[in-house]
Structure 1
Amino acid sequence: MSKQRQEQNLPQSRDSGYTIIESLIAMIVVSVLMIAIAPVMAYSVATRVQARRMELATQAARAYIDALRTGAIKRNDPTNPGFPIQDMSAAPAFAPPPASTNPQNNLYCVNFDETAGCAGSKEFFVQGAWRNPANPTDPTQTGYELTVRVYRADGFTGGTMKTEQQSVANSALGDPKAPLVVMKTEIPASTVPGSYGSLCSRIRDPKTGQISTTACK
């Protein structure tokens, strides 16, 4: 009796489990779902990368503004380019930079990585423009309004750079020709005592302990 029962149960065990057709259908369904989800995931990652890039560009703009306020960037200094150009028109605020990265184009490089030069994805070119209704010969003596644009260094590969800031919400990885950040601020006159002048007047030589007369030069 036991042998007969085993022989009757044998065909049932052979028919159990998934068939090849069922497996193929399951693979097709999963593939369709992955194809539908993949663009959303890619866009989400691209948006996150662009948001991080804009965050670094904001830091670059602040570093540039601080350098102007402290006098680290000077006028007519070929060894340290980046002083803002004069804003001669109301709209657009000032012309976009050319595709070339010649230092005479008044572009200031901010490098966030360890590689030399200014051409990578974590390196930025900052363009500034000063505006003063009096149009002085030396704007540092009177103070001025400063407009700043921050561009990706890897966007200077030829062609015309743009002036309008891109949006992180609809740009995904963004347009390398458009500025990541555009901001305005005021740069005070270097001849008027302020927080920087106060700091300079209190800097002492670490060796002699005396007030340094060359700290602000």
Structure 2
Amino acid sequence: MQWSRRSGTSKGKVLIDKIFCYGLAMDDQKYLYVTDIAQNAVRRYKIGEKNGTLVAGGHGAGDGLNQFDEPIKIFVDQQQAVYISDNRNHRVMKWNKGATAGIVVAGGQGQGSALTQLFTPIGLVVDALGTVYVADTWNSRVVSWPKGAKQGNIIAGGNGEGKQPNQLQYPVDLSFDRHGNLYVVDWDNSRVQRFSIK
């Protein structure tokens, strides 16, 4: 759905339908990227287009480098590379523009709590240096994976599930402000937390 911020209307315009979408992102050229959980794919749409272009996945559910098993959230960088949290494969995939397969940039070592693993990742952000920040949901932590790293670093949570300020309970999304503060949707605690990341 699309709503105009200027019109003051409560009616939205359907842009894409018949899709089981969970995540979306827009690039600098105003293309809309959408995850389709039912098709295990990511499609790119020009506003007004109904079919879109397949940019990642679309080869059925699986753990191959050209597959997903429940793609959830998405991030698109300046080069139109697409990063996807591949939820049931416990990994984050990067698909460069025009690629026919992705590369694992975080996790991919099965579900678990080791620093080489993720457990149902959902929200993600990628900075200008290529560091991937992941809401590692069932591990109740946020992990950063510098470009090319074989393991992540815990930057928030990771102190067991709980309600204390240094704890998270199923984080599902995250964002940074221009000052480098990290904001985390701490889902099961019904709160948003802010962390100062140095």
State the TM-score, normalizing by the size of structure 2.
0.23
More strand by share: 2
Q: Which has the larger radius of gyration?
A: 1
Identify the structure with bigger relative contact order (alpha carbons < 8 Å, sequence gap 6+).
1
